[in-house]
Structure 1
Amino acid sequence: MAAFGSLFMPEMAISWFDGSGWSESQVVSSDSIQLHPGAHVLHYSSTCFEGLKAFRHADGSIKIFRMDQNIARFAQSAELLALPSIDAEATTAMIIEIVARFADEVPAPPGSMYIRPTHFGTEPAIGKAAVPSLTSCQYVLLSPVGDYFAGGDKALRLLVDDQGMRCPPHMGMVKSGGNYAGALRPIMKARAEAQADQVLFCPGGDVQETGAANFLLIDGDEIITKALDESFLHGITRDSILTLARDRGMKISERALSIDELLERAAKPGCEAALSGTAAVLAPVGTLIYHGKEYPVGNGGVGATTVKLRQALNDIQWGKAEDKHGWLTSI
C-alpha cells in the first residue's frame, strides 16, 4: 500500500478567481496546474487548505463527513489570509462533483477517500509582500487512503516544548501550509534527539497542540483540552470527539492546561492522552518527554477510552452507528 496521502486520483475539480469573480468549476488532469514563477503563493505563502474524508457504507452509498464545517473553516482561513473569498456553495458543488466522479474508487472501511480542497494566491507580483493577491485558484484533489493504523495501534511519544511555538499566535486557527512548514524543523530535531513522534508545543508552559494535531488529556471521565482561541487550529475531529464524549456523559473541560498539571495528571493510573485529526481520528499518546526526562501517561500504553471514542466516531463515519448529529452528506 502506498504511503498515506501519496496516491491521487487522475483528475481534480478546479476554479480560478480573476479579481472579480470565480470561473465555472472544471474537471482537469491532476497535474495540469501552471503557475507564473512570480505567483504570490510561491513568495508569500498565501495558501490554505482543508482535509476531510468520504466513506463507503455497507449498502454501497458514499458519505462525506462534516463537509459543512470544513468549508466554513476553509472560508475562515481564506479571510484571515486576505485571499479572495471562496464561494461556499460552489466549493460544496466542486467537492461533491469530484467525489461522485470517483465514487467507485472510494475504499471500503477502514479505508476512505481523503479530500483536499486547496486555495492559493496566483497574482504574479513579487512586490506585494504586504499586499494580498488579487487573483487565486481553488482546486479539490482526491487521495484514496487505507487504514492509518495498518502497522498496529501504538502509543506515541511526544516531546514537550515549553520554548517554541508551532506558529505565530494570530495564525494558529488558519489551516495554512506555512504553519506546518514552520513546525517541521523542531519535529525533526525531536525525532533525532529524543526518538519522539511529535512535538507538543507549550509556549510559556501553556499546553496547545502538536505540529499536526490537537491534544486531549483524558483523566477518568474528564477530557481536558485548550479552549478555542486564535493560537491553535479549531479541529473538526476534536469537536466531533468532544461531542461524542459529552453524549456518553463525560465532562469536557476546555481551559488552560499547564505543563505542571499535565505531568501531574499523566502520572495517575488510568490517565490517557491522545491526538485528534482527520487522518488518525484519535491516536494514543503513551510518553511525554520533558527536559530530558520521560513521563509515561497512565500505563504508557494505548488507552481504553481513546480506543472507544475513536471507534464511536469511526462507526458513524462507516455507517455502523446512527448519525444523530447530521454529520454525513450523501453523494
Structure 2
Amino acid sequence: MRTLLAIGTPDDEAADAVRGLARSAREADGVAPLSEQTLLDLRDDDADLTHVLAHDGDRGVVGYAQVDRRGEAATAEIVVAPGARRHGVGRILLRTAQRDATLPSRSGAPARREPLRVWAHGDLPPARALAQDAGLVAVRELLRLGLDLGDGPASHVPPPRLPDGLVLRAFSPGDDDDAWLALNARAFAQHPEQGRMTLGDLRARQDEDWFDPAGLLLLERTGERGGNGSHDAAAALVGSCWTKIPTDQPAGAREGEIYVVGIDPAAQGEGLGTLLTAAGLAHLAAAGCARAVLYVDGDNTPAVRTYERAGFGRDAVDVQYATPVTPSSPSGATMDR
C-alpha cells in the first residue's frame, strides 16, 4: 500500500473523513481513538496544531495524526483505519508527529524540554506494539472508572444534603461563563489540558448536541458580596460538577459522564468533591442513565479515593507514551508521570 501524507488544516470533506475513520476504529476496537478536544480541533488552523492525513489512492483517508504544541509538552493522537493497519501507516504518522513536535510554540507556552507525548486510548495491543517498536515508554495513565446506577431514575441515587451556607444551582450560559472559567483555572492550574480551557473552548462545548446547562452544577457560598455590595458570582463560586450525556444512546442503556469536577483550592479539605460527585450522580440517574463513567489521572490519589468511595471501579485506561529521559539526557527533563 502506498501512503501519501497531507499536512494542513482539513477542509470540511477531509474533517468528515477523519470523523468517519474515528467511528470505524471505535467500532472495531471498542474504544474511541481520538479525544473530544482533538475532534473539536479538527478544523482549527491554530499555528500550534499540526494536522496530518494519510491517504491511500484506493481507500481515501486511512490515517490521521494531530500534534498539539500549546502545552508545556507537545502531545499527539493517532488513528489508523482498521483495514489499513500493519502496513506502516502508524509508524509514518508517529515519525511525522515527532518531527513536528519540535517546532517552537507560538502560544506563549514555556519552552518545551520534554519529548512528545503520544496518547493511546484504551492502551490496545497495536498501540503498545507501535510504542515499543519506537522505543517509547508509558509516562502517564488516565483511568476510566465506571459505576452502575441501576435501572431506575433518581430514587436509586438521592441528591446529597447540602451543609448550611452552600447552594447548588444550574449553570446559566453567558451569565456564568467568566466565573466558571476562573474557577476552572484555579482548580486545574497544574493540569496539562483542563487548566488551559478558554472561553472559545467553553463555547465550543456549549455548541455540542450533548450540552445541557442543567447538567453543569454550580456550588456557591451564600451571602458572598462584591466590593460595591452587589452579588459577586466569581467570589461565591467554590465548586462545580459538569455532567455529560452523549446523544443517540439506546433506551435502557444510557451512559452518563462525570465530565469535570472542580474545587476552588481555598475550599479543599471540606469534602466538596464528594458532595459534587454525589450531586452529579443524582443528576445522571434522574436523567435515566444506567451507568456513570469518569476519567481521572492515575496518580491523582485523592480524587481516585473519592471516586472509589462513591463505588466506582476501573473500566479501562488511556496511556501517554514518550521517549524515556535519563539524568544524562541533553534535554534535562524529568517525567512526573
TM-score normalised according to structure 1 size: 0.30
What TM-score, normalized by structure 2, do the two folds share? Answer: 0.29
